[in-house]
Amino acid sequence: MAELSQVPYLLRAARGEVLDRPPVWMMRQAGRYMKAYRDLREKYPSFRERSEIPEVAIEVSLQPWRAFQPDGVILFSDIVTPLPGLGIEMDIAEGKGPIIHSPIRTQAQVDQLRPLEPEESLPFIKTILQALRQEVGNQSTVLGFVGAPWTLAAYVVEGKGSKTYSVIKGMAFSDPTMLHQFLGKLADAIAIYVRYQIDCGAQVVQMFDSWAGQLSPQDYETFALPYQQRVIQQVKQTHPDTPLILLVSGSAGLLEKMAKSGADIITVDWTVDMADARTRLGNLKVQGNLDPGVLFGSHEFIKERILDTIRKAGHGGHILNLGHGVLPNTPEENVAYFFETAKQADNLLAVHA
Ligand code: CP3
């Protein structure tokens, strides 16, 4: 009986067990579409407060857990959270995302970066992850997450989010030596941070290389993939049993290359049919891949897409998720319906078959 297992459901699937239905969670399941989050944001207007004051971050992480009982509970934080520990000051602006006060553009700035010491600079992460494990016990799996080197470098070099990535691409295509040094330093810091999250209680860790899909396949192989590999190799040396998930946004042209990262599970977005993704990825496990826009549809439509995705993914090695984060203004009630339906998928599929 699944309910009696000491190992939570998502972790069992991530380790390769074939289960009755895929485990389910949602990227960005904590956040703006939830009224409870918006209310709390009025009391703590700064994102850094919400994510770095342990009691607040614990509360936000648990809001979707209490509302929907997802199979995965993700730490509420951001990919730029470790940067101040390297000496890179940042803020997260409402509606805009990360802002880097002094973007890195020179060799001297790269040379000045400090190695990450998470016990010193990220003590709140330990408090949060320990509390989440305590709270969910073996009823759910606690996920940690980090940004990948290319995506973090994109924020730090550009100074903010970008549509064109022209500053970092200018650097990549004119002064690659400096950028490679920077990516290497980021990779080592991120590996330390993943290990720390695992030591603090994260049972699965997802690495977001959100903006690596902005690179051509050949540039992905030069500036993104080797640094994903460098993080994953270092983590696997010390923590071989913790499943690692990789996400690249807009990854349709990159799936086979993502498979070379060393990640155990590849996130697939909705620009690829899940059955095609399975063929292209061979034995690797997959996560995804509903269009977040589906959650603006009718209940019937949401149910059909859930079942269709599960059928296409086939038995085992699949974590049901959206292909990217849940969108602001998504009706909470549809999120609730998504989770309820996904958790009955074994019965629903038997009826439909
Ligand atoms: O999945 C979860 O529930 C965990 C929460 C989470 C946040 N950021 C909280 C957040 C996660 C996993 C992230 C990762 C992250 N942050 C990524 C990778 C995931 C992806 O979307 O590809 C990226 C690229 C960032 C950078 C970032 N931070 C962006 C683009 C934004 C949104 C800007 C905006 O306002 O549209 C942020 C801010 C942020 N991080 C918000 C949340 C819930 C929104 C601000 C808020 O709600 O207060």
pLDDT tens digits, 194-221: 999 999 999 999 999 999 999 999 999 9
- Taking CA atoms only, the protein residue closest to ligand 1 atom 33 is 97
* Region of residue 199 (left: phi > 0; alpha: psi -120 to 50; beta: else): alpha
Alpha-carbon gap, residue 265 to 270, rounded angstroms: 16
Which residue type, as a one-letter code, is found at position 219?
D
Q: Is 41 a catalytic residue?
A: yes
78 marked as binding residue:
yes
- Answer whether residue 157 shows pLDDT above 90: yes
**pTM for the full predicted model:** 0.96
pLDDT tens digits for range 330-346: 999 999 999 999 999 99
Task: Measure the CA angle with vertex 219, ends 214 and 225; round to 5°.
Answer: 90
Which of 21, 41, 230, 278 is catalytic? The answer is: 41
Does the Cβ of 78 fall within 6 Å of ligand 1?
yes
In angstroms, what is the span from residue 217 Cα to ligand 1's centroid?
25
Known catalytic residue: 28? Answer: yes
pLDDT tens digits, 109-155: 999 999 999 999 999 999 999 999 999 999 999 999 999 999 999 99
105: left (phi over 0), alpha (psi -120 to 50) or beta: alpha
Q: Is the CB of 150 under 6 A from ligand 1?
A: no
145 lines ligand 1 (CB under 6 A): yes
Over residues 259-284, mean pLDDT = 98
Residue 2 scores a pLDDT above 50: no
Mean pLDDT of 249-272: 98
Nearest protein CA to atom 37 of ligand 1, as residue: 97
Going by alpha carbons, the residue nearest to atom 29 of ligand 1 is: 97
Mean pLDDT over each residue of the chain, to the nearest integer:
97
Whether residue 78 lies in the annotated active site: yes
CA of 60 to the centre of ligand 1 (A): 13
The CATH-assigned architecture of domain 4-352 is Alpha-Beta Barrel (3.20)
Query: Is 155 an annotated catalytic residue?
Result: yes
